[in-house]
Structure 1
């Protein structure tokens, strides 16, 4: 199978050439057919005309002898008619006038009476030596005013016409090939010129590097057909720039959060090993190190979960759960922590929910842990569950709200609250108690379920809302959330 050229310009040039060749070939075929039909019609008209002309000349002679004495007047009417054969003979077959340059054998033809007016429908087919089907006619013609008649045979060898059409077709073929070649050349030049904006776009795109992600393609100067492509490429560059920026910040945050526990481990260990210690001191060191190890383990576990979710490798076991029952179990789990912080946990409402039990518990646990850390002593953290319309308005899903009083989250912080390693407190004074991945995991879990998580923080009350759809829609890999700074 022949492969197409890789160059789009060459492909377009070939397409122009082939299209032109097809058009010219169609026109050539039509012209050739039309010319052949016209020539054939002209030959047939001439055959009928020759019979009428010979009959007219015969009316001017009185005897067969007079015809023999002046054959030129009959022979002259055949001059200039290539392939024409004219024979005038007696009823007994004795030739009076013979014009047959190639000595063709006369075919037996049906002879028309002298009173019959000849027309094209009376022409008969015969084959000369070259085998080309030709046309002819035989008719009687009266001598003068007498009742005596002679036989007129007029034939036309169509071989000349076939040769003429063949030569004409050869010329049309060469004209078609030349026209197609010229069209291909012009098409190549036009396509190359027309694709110049695309080459400029390619050059601009090639200039984009990690240090020049802010570069954008000029949509305004692009042709209408390429504006959509340029706009899509600009959107892609914007996403890449945003993702790269967030990835850079994510890497910096990751290094910072790993450096803190590792520095603690190294520092404490170096201090302890600087001199001999008692067993109790070594035990205290190991307990302190264990806390750091556990924190590192949680961070690694959370990062692995997010990485698997980003690549759609988290298998969901979605089923119908009693949301109130699940929330009561989690409230009971946090009861001791809430009591230690002098915070009351309140669960209200009831509704079924379509969710993966493990991921549901993980999402609500992260929200409760976040709420208890920020709720002031003596306050109440509320967890409400109810049926609620979906965000798209296509049905009724389940809504779980976790609200806690406390300092409001600044409005400029809200768009980043679900970012990985993001903390509203730049000083990170609470970094030991949090990995900065809890809310990012909540957002990922909701996306995996085809739902959403939103936050509202006004008038000293922060409310996180988990919106589960009526029927979970698994999130494709391409739609998985990227790392957010």
Structure 2
């Protein structure tokens, strides 16, 4: 549910929030770094001050003759040092104090120095031990500290200013990010408006690739390619619908005319039988057309094969030749099958593709012709070629040969024995399902249809 709600957030809002988060993270890190380094610098200054005072105390201790002399010299030397706190003990007795300074117990166990607070005041102190030249058995314990409340106040002020600046920066970056994102996404809005103008009546609209940013040109080109494919498919679908209407109109018109003529006047049994035979013939042709259309649609839209096995092309070709010899004998057409190859695929589909080519060759071959089936192997392909004598085909005819309902005869009137024009489109769809191809070319007065299969290893 959360993922669904997140997907409804606009891209502008997402980029703006992301930009604000990045700016906030960068400025927060920078503010933390500035605050930490400033605090560390103040500590270094305090340490340097205490080292200077400790050096001064060491020099005075070396020149002094006793505790009283040391206290007098320190009082004279350290007079007027604001913020400096000192307490010097020896043998457990205090011999000098500067300022109201209560030594915290934790300072004795902090050799690297200690920071602490006392009410509104804050301090940094160190404990150092110095030798006494007048008493080798004792030593000076020097508790030195500096008042750091002004440092703390400065750091607190700096922290507040940094927080205010970070908050203002995040707010400004959010507004600026929204403006920049909207301007940056204008090409997408232009693509959206362009796409809205595409409809079933007008497929000519395309994305303006050259005017888009480099990052969006690939997307626009892909959309244009998709629109080109859709337009080709849509045009082909329109042509198919028109051709289909014409193909179905003719047999339906024949059926209706024959039925009306038969029913117009009373007739004898032979007349009714003849009429029913005509109707039966038209219904058979109509049923075959519908069956071929369904098979073609299924083959084109489903790239998977029903079954895959090793298919012997020569064996299938000879089996089909035996089937078509009965029809070919009427025209005196003979067959020859040469070569051998095996491919992987659906045997029934391959058999239908070969059968379509043989049926086409027998139908268009002249009397006493020879239909040759030649099977060959190349490095990457197994080829089956069906050849028959025929008139040379023009380039336009060869290109349109595999379109639905295409016929060599002009117009839509079907010549005797001519099919409906679905055999070759079915063959192409079958070869496409097998990652193969089918082509046609003319040479030396013969027409050659060739099926190319991926070669079986």
TM class by smaller structure: 0.7 to 0.9
In the alignment, structure 1 residue 179 sits paired with structure 2 residue 169:
yes
2:424 to 397, 414, 439: 439
Task: Tell me the TM-score normalized by structure 1.
Answer: 0.81
1:247 is matched with 237
CA distance in structure 2 between the aligned counterparts of 1:272 and 1:176, rounded to whole angstroms? 96
In the alignment, structure 1 residue 359 sits paired with structure 2 residue 349:
yes
Tell me how far 1:108 sits from its aligned partner: 9.2
In the alignment, structure 1 residue 22 sits paired with structure 2 residue 4:
no
Tell me how far 1:258 sits from its aligned partner: 0.5
1:98 is matched with 98
1:480 is matched with none
2:12 is matched with 9
| Contact preservation (8 Å) 2:67, 2:95 | no
| Contact preservation (8 Å) 2:87, 2:142 | yes
Residue 71 to residue 141, structure 1, CA distance change in 2 (3 Å): farther
CA distance in structure 2 between the aligned counterparts of 1:24 and 1:189, rounded to whole angstroms? 20
CA distance in structure 1 between the aligned counterparts of 2:113 and 2:199, rounded to whole angstroms? 84
Cα deviations by residue, 1:337-365 (Å, 9 ceiling, x for unpaired): 11212322222223333332211221111
Cα deviations by residue, 1:421-455 (Å, 9 ceiling, x for unpaired): 22233313326741211001000111111211111
User: Aligned with 1:76: secondary structure?
Assistant: coil
Tell me how far 1:203 sits from its aligned partner: 1.2
Aligned length: 446
- Within a 5 Å distance, the mapping from 1:46-65 to structure 2 comes to 46-53=49-56, 64=68
Structure 1: gaps (5+ residues): 111-120, 144-148, 390-394, 473-485
Kindly report the root-mean-square deviation, in angstroms, between the aligned alpha carbons of the 2 structures. 3.5
Please state which structure has a larger fraction of its residues in helix.
2
Residue 453 to residue 44, structure 1, CA distance change in 2 (3 Å): same
| Contact preservation (8 Å) 2:305, 2:345 | no
Deviates more, 1:38-47 or 1:426-435: 426-435
User: Aligned with 1:220: secondary structure?
Assistant: helix
Tell me how far 1:75 sits from its aligned partner: 4.3
In the alignment, structure 1 residue 189 sits paired with structure 2 residue 157:
no
Cα deviations by residue, 1:181-224 (Å, 9 ceiling, x for unpaired): 32232222222212222221221121112222122222221211
1:295 is matched with 285
2:401 to 413, 417, 421: 417
| Contact preservation (8 Å) 1:55, 1:142 | no
| Contact preservation (8 Å) 1:137, 1:154 | yes
Tell me how far 1:132 sits from its aligned partner: 7.8
In the alignment, structure 1 residue 455 sits paired with structure 2 residue 445:
no
CA distance in structure 2 between the aligned counterparts of 1:471 and 1:169, rounded to whole angstroms? 76
Structure 2: gaps (5+ residues): 134-138
In the alignment, structure 1 residue 268 sits paired with structure 2 residue 258:
yes
CA distance in structure 1 between the aligned counterparts of 2:73 and 2:208, rounded to whole angstroms? 95
| Contact preservation (8 Å) 2:314, 2:340 | yes
2:376 to 364, 378, 386: 386
1:229 is matched with 219
Residue 438 to residue 66, structure 1, CA distance change in 2 (3 Å): closer
In the alignment, structure 1 residue 74 sits paired with structure 2 residue 74:
no
Tell me how far 1:283 sits from its aligned partner: 0.8
| Contact preservation (8 Å) 1:383, 1:402 | yes
User: Aligned with 1:11: secondary structure?
Assistant: helix
CA distance in structure 2 between the aligned counterparts of 1:192 and 1:431, rounded to whole angstroms? 65
2:322 to 332, 344, 352: 332
| Contact preservation (8 Å) 1:109, 1:138 | no
In the alignment, structure 1 residue 404 sits paired with structure 2 residue 388:
yes
Task: Tell me the TM-score normalized by structure 2.
Answer: 0.86
1:86 is matched with 86
| Contact preservation (8 Å) 1:371, 1:403 | yes
- Within a 5 Å distance, the mapping from 1:212-223 to structure 2 comes to 212-223=202-213
1:278 is matched with 268
User: Aligned with 2:78: secondary structure?
Assistant: helix
CA distance in structure 2 between the aligned counterparts of 1:454 and 1:337, rounded to whole angstroms? 25
1:41 to 19, 40, 44: 44
2:331 is matched with 341
CA distance in structure 2 between the aligned counterparts of 1:108 and 1:327, rounded to whole angstroms? 103
| Contact preservation (8 Å) 1:379, 1:405 | yes
- Within a 5 Å distance, the mapping from 1:104-143 to structure 2 comes to 104-105=102-103, 107=105, 124-125=113-114, 129=118, 134-138=124-128
| Contact preservation (8 Å) 1:453, 1:464 | yes
Residue 241 to residue 280, structure 1, CA distance change in 2 (3 Å): same
1:377 is matched with 367
Tell me how far 1:400 sits from its aligned partner: 0.9
CA distance in structure 2 between the aligned counterparts of 1:469 and 1:108, rounded to whole angstroms? 87
| Contact preservation (8 Å) 1:47, 1:137 | no
2:136 is matched with none
Tell me how far 1:282 sits from its aligned partner: 0.8
